[in-house]
A = this chain, B = another copy of it.
Amino acid sequence: MITSHSIRHVRITPIAFRDPPLLNAAGIHEPWALRSIIEIETASGWIGINESYGDQPMLEALAKAAPALTGLSPWALNEMERRVAALVAPLTQTASGFLGQHISLAPGTHVAKTVAKVISAFEVAMLDLQGQLNGAPIVDLLGGAVRESVPFSAYLFYKYAEHIDKPYPPDPWGETLTPEQLVAQAQRMIGQYGFQSIKLKAGTLPPEEEAAGVRALAQAFPGKPLRIDPNGNWTVETSLKIVQQLRGLLEYYEDPAPGLEGMAAVARECEVPLATNMVVTDFAEFRRNADMGCPVKIVLSDHHYWGGLRATQRLSTLCQTFDLGLSMHSNSHLGISLVAMTHLCASVPQLTYACDTHYPWQDDEVIEGGRLQFDQGSLKVPTAPGLGVTLDYEALARLHDNYQRCGIRFRDDLAQMRKYDPSFTGAQPRF
């Protein structure tokens, strides 16, 4: 490694893009979703990029950690992790103000995940640099592709037709509150992207109505694997009642009841394997699940908060060791996150489930060439060096301008929901 390739500068640009009024257990999506764009530049002028969370605490953590990268080789991932942990870990021990805020369904907003999140944010950008410097796509740096394309699932949401805040014109998806509207949403999304699996974000309408939605989907899309994710918003009793109504229809049952104990109680009486992105969200929780005899059978990883692409590969070995399945979770994101997931998934043999993605819910992009194209619900694994995508700096400026103007600084689905329904408490489990 020639010294001129050492890291000279890290640039973090917060961005915002339009997000539809999607309903979930915590409330409803706000009109803008936040992300950050990370650029790591070497003294020789190469730039590695990445996309991560864009809430205020994350921006503060990234800003605090960024100077520690100066002078590092793009290969020095382990040393980067050490330095980030040393700088950022203290932040997480004084959770207050912004830092203390999070919504329970999104581990990406948990303070305890800050070290892993910052490491991930830098790791992918450094891998992008490594790949560019030696002409190899990131998937090759991860051991090479075991599949040529990576399948994603149709991620369906109940939603309102438009945001309560004005002025935000209605999105093209319209309202989804009934089984018929849900099938129409799925038809539209599958028609456009070709997805072969379907996931329904639940925990928001009365459970019987959501079960009716799943049954309608099963009828409309026979043979397509189906999943439902109430985000821990159902009691154990409700979880067991609803899964009875969905007999033979579910590929897996994602986070029906809250907490690992709640999931374990469901698992004891439920044949469908339980999946989670809420109770096994880091290695310590992985162990807890193992110590309890693995009530959770499928871990929905997310490299953004598990500590990066390499950490998720390591998680895959843990899953294999304990006979657990592995799939991937998603938050609102753009193409850099999507392509990083694609490199990762292509390198993990046992990652055979179609992954979650919010991508169809966004219509903007920050990379050159615009929106990534799916073929039959899958993305081709890039073969160009590094991530295989580059920043569109005009789009970046525009999205950063959105951020400046939108006024949102951390995600708050609960407060947003209270604008619609002042009596909404967000207390879980709700049903």
Contact between A82 and B349, CB atoms less than 8 A apart: yes
- The minimal Cβ–Cβ distance linking A144 to chain B, given in whole angstroms, is 4
The stretch among A309-317, A325-333, A358-366, A417-425 that forms the contact with chain B is: A309-317
Select which of B76, B78, B136, B140 is within 8 A of A349 by beta carbon: B78
- For this chain, the copies found in one complex come to 2
- The minimal Cβ–Cβ distance linking A149 to chain B, given in whole angstroms, is 15
Is A233 in contact with chain B by the CB < 8 A criterion?
no
| Residues in B neighbouring A317, C-beta threshold 8 A | 283, 311, 314-315, 317-318
- A318 and B322 CA atoms in complex are apart in Å by 11
Chain A, 135-158, CB within 8 A of any chain B CB: 135-136, 140-146
Q: Mark A73-92, 1 if CB is under 8 A from B, else 0.
A: 10111111110000000000
Highest count of chain B CB atoms <10 Å: which of A133, A136, A144, A310: A144
Contact between B1 and A287, CB atoms less than 8 A apart: no
Is A321 in contact with chain B by the CB < 8 A criterion?
yes
Chain A, 262-300, CB within 8 A of any chain B CB: 283-284, 286-287, 290
- A49 and B113 CA atoms in complex are apart in Å by 40
- A117 and B311 CA atoms in complex are apart in Å by 24
Smallest CB-CB separation from A85: which chain B residue? B349
Count chain A residues whose beta carbon lies closer than 8 angstroms to a beta carbon of B: 39
- The minimal Cβ–Cβ distance linking A112 to chain B, given in whole angstroms, is 16
Contact between A75 and B136, CB atoms less than 8 A apart: yes
Contact between B140 and A73, CB atoms less than 8 A apart: yes
Smallest CB-CB separation from A1: which chain B residue? B136
20 CB < 8 A contacts A-B: A75-B141, A75-B143, A76-B143, A77-B143, A78-B145, A78-B146, A78-B347, A79-B145, A133-B134, A134-B135, A134-B136, A141-B141, A143-B310, A283-B321, A286-B321, A290-B290, A313-B314, A314-B317, A315-B317, A317-B317
| Residues in B neighbouring A287, C-beta threshold 8 A | 321-322
Contact between B77 and A144, CB atoms less than 8 A apart: yes
- A322 and B283 CA atoms in complex are apart in Å by 9
Contact between B78 and A143, CB atoms less than 8 A apart: yes
| Residues in B neighbouring A77, C-beta threshold 8 A | 143-144
- A358 and B426 CA atoms in complex are apart in Å by 62
- A319 and B76 CA atoms in complex are apart in Å by 22
Smallest CB-CB separation from A282: which chain B residue? B321
| Residues in B neighbouring A314, C-beta threshold 8 A | 313-314, 317
